[in-house]
Chain A
Amino acid sequence: MGFKFLQSFLTFFVVLPTLLTVYSICASLEIAGRHRGGRGLLGWIGALPWDEPMVLVAALSLVMLGGGGFGGIINMSYAMNSMIHNTSWVPAHFHLIFGGAVVIMYFAIAYEMWPQITGKLLRSKKLARRQLWLWFWGIMIVTIPWHITGLMGQPRRVAVFDYDDPLVARTGPLVIISVIGGMILLLSAILLIFILVRSHFGERTGEIPLRYALAVNPPAHVPSSLNGFALWNTILLVLMLVAYGYPIGQFALLKPHSVPAYDVTSHSDGGGAR
């Protein structure tokens, strides 16, 4: 306990900005959808310009952020974490969050910014949408079995997997599925480069003016504390010092524990004489 609880508790507050982000993106989409003539409780969803890669990505990214976010709450909680600590659940979680929700947004930004920078329009938005869907399913196929193997107890860092061992044999098929997902991701990444290169050497050109989003209800006054990073970075620095200063400083105070090294290979190739 002690500082571990402080770290856990502070980490918990990451759900607040995340939920604010989800809320403001959903609200922006709803406002746009209603402006485009969407009616009813969910009618605005259908009214959104789904052929735009950016809109598609906003939705896919939210789905992945949702899944990864709920997994993250398990990681940060003191008790539930002990179930998945140091298992392959952890890399599965951050691949879903970063490789999924964040990276797919980079792709959409590339499709948005590339034509603005170079003046070469995307040759096919349809192909771009396919690439993004491929990435989405690739991430799903990689990370869902990965989470499951974590729950089954597969460690996150392993030198050698011996799937003949009955202890890990049942994770074998799930790992294979994960690898297939990885192949899909590779395919999607190659497709991304192909789309950008093809558009760059394509015929279609045009000037796209750089436009920024405008607030529907423009604020009359924003306090400068909320409009800059100075205050928040200072608070962050203090919190980091409080949460990690002593635990890291302890390394300088404590006598190091000697952790015995286990030789994992020598006895199994005792047949070296052969």
Chain B
Amino acid sequence: MARDKGVLRLTNPWPRFAWLAGAAIVGISLALGFLVLDRYQQNDPPLGLWGAICWGLGITADLGPAREAAPTLRTPSRIAWTSSTLGQIRAGDAQHGSFIALNCTACHGEGGMSQSTFIPTLTGMDPAVIFKQLDDYRSGKRPWGVMGAIAKALSIRDSADVAAYYAARPNGLAAIAHEGSLRGESRSKESDSARHLAFMGDEQRGIPPCTACHGPHGYKIGAPPLAGQHAAYIERQLAAFAQRLRQNDINEQMRTIAMQLTPSEMHALAAFYGAPESSRVANK
């Protein structure tokens, strides 16, 4: 069968056709790949012909090593909400936690009902919140001298125990109630700006409603209950997030939101969530 000689020779019609077809395919795809398709950049104007060829070859102006060292990777928190973390929190022993909490009363008050407006109330606080904040203090992710020193003295188990203790205390913080919230009424008529932000957010500025994470409409782990917290404390934290003094929100959500708020909105929100001093005394 193999009667024709020179299977690689171009005088032979079959190899000639095969080579020509191969060359045409390569030529077309090189032209498309280097001259046409790679001219169009996502966010930049189209490249010129020479620029496109260089770009396709991977030769760009920034080929050399960057002059500045890349900033070190900064993580907002060591805590990730993995099943093992949640398991550590669930294992918290409130009985043992009550002993540890004796160290907290000097500042956070009897049973976690803080008397100082700048120190948060812990009564009824979500245990995941206390656990995470203690770890953030411990690792310096939330820098605060006193709490950093105290948290370093506590083990992981101690954190979980004291979190369980405060979570179990009655008459403390809770998700704020809203008349229409459970019946799904339209809340678009909220006139008060703080109430509007809390229940509706502000689409224009990309601010989600506070209640989507802090309750009652939604619950995101790590978000503390706000109703009954000291107004001054809430306002201070919002300002700290906005100025990036506090950076331990895992997904940067509070920094993003707080940056969008005006000082008067922060004040109004803090007042909306914060309990008046009189009711606090009565509560105690």
Contact = CB atoms under 8 A, between A and B. Distances in A.
Contacts of B63: 254
B65 A274 contact: no
Interface string A10-45: 100100000000000000000000000000000000
Contacts of A268: 80, 82, 84-85
A9 interface: yes
Nearest to A269: B84
Nearest to A163: B83
Given A9-B28, A10-B29, A225-B4, A1 B14 contact: no
Given A162-B82, A270-B78, A274-B155, A228 B32 contact: no
Contact of B15 (A13, A225, A238, A250): A225
Interface string B38-76: 100000000000000001111000011100000001000
A209 interface: no
Given A10-B29, A228-B2, A274-B156, A260 B38 contact: no
Contact of B2 (A162, A227, A274): A227
Interface in A234-251: 234-235, 238-239, 242, 246, 250
Contacts, number: 113
Given A1-B38, A6-B29, A271 B18 contact: no
B75 to A, nearest CB: 9
B18 A231 contact: yes
B56 A3 contact: yes
A199 B4 CA distance: 47
Interface string B1-15: 111110110001011
Interface in A82-125: none
Contacts of B26: 6, 10, 239, 242
B61 to A, nearest CB: 14
B29 A5 contact: yes
Contacts of B38: 1-2, 5
B1 A2 contact: no
Contacts of B55: 1-2
Interface stretch (A47-55, A135-143, A183-191, A216-224): A216-224
A270 B155 contact: no
B25 interface: yes
Interface residues of B, number: 44
Contacts of A13: 25
Given A162-B83, A164-B83, A269-B84, A224 B29 contact: no
Contact of B3 (A9, A224, A234, A267): A224
B89 to A, nearest CB: 10
Contacts of B22: 235, 238-239
B88 interface: yes
A255 interface: yes
A164 B82 contact: yes
B3 A221 contact: yes
B1 A227 contact: yes
B165 interface: no
A8 B30 CA distance: 11
Contact of A225 (B14, B57, B64, B155): B14
A224 B37 CA distance: 39
A267 B78 contact: yes
A8 B29 CA distance: 9
B212 interface: no
A148 to B, nearest CB: 24
A224 B5 CA distance: 8
The 6 closest A-B pairs by CB, nearest first: A2-B56, A5-B33, A1-B38, A9-B29, A224-B2, A164-B83
29 contacts: A1-B33, A2-B34, A2-B57, A2-B58, A3-B56, A5-B32, A5-B37, A9-B28, A165-B83, A223-B4, A225-B4, A225-B7, A225-B12, A226-B14, A230-B7, A230-B8, A231-B7, A231-B14, A232-B18, A235-B18, A238-B22, A254-B58, A260-B73, A268-B82, A268-B84, A269-B84, A274-B88, A274-B155, A274-B157
Given A162-B82, A222-B1, A224-B2, 8 more contacts: A1-B38, A5-B32, A224-B5, A231-B15, A235-B22, A250-B58, A268-B82, A268-B85
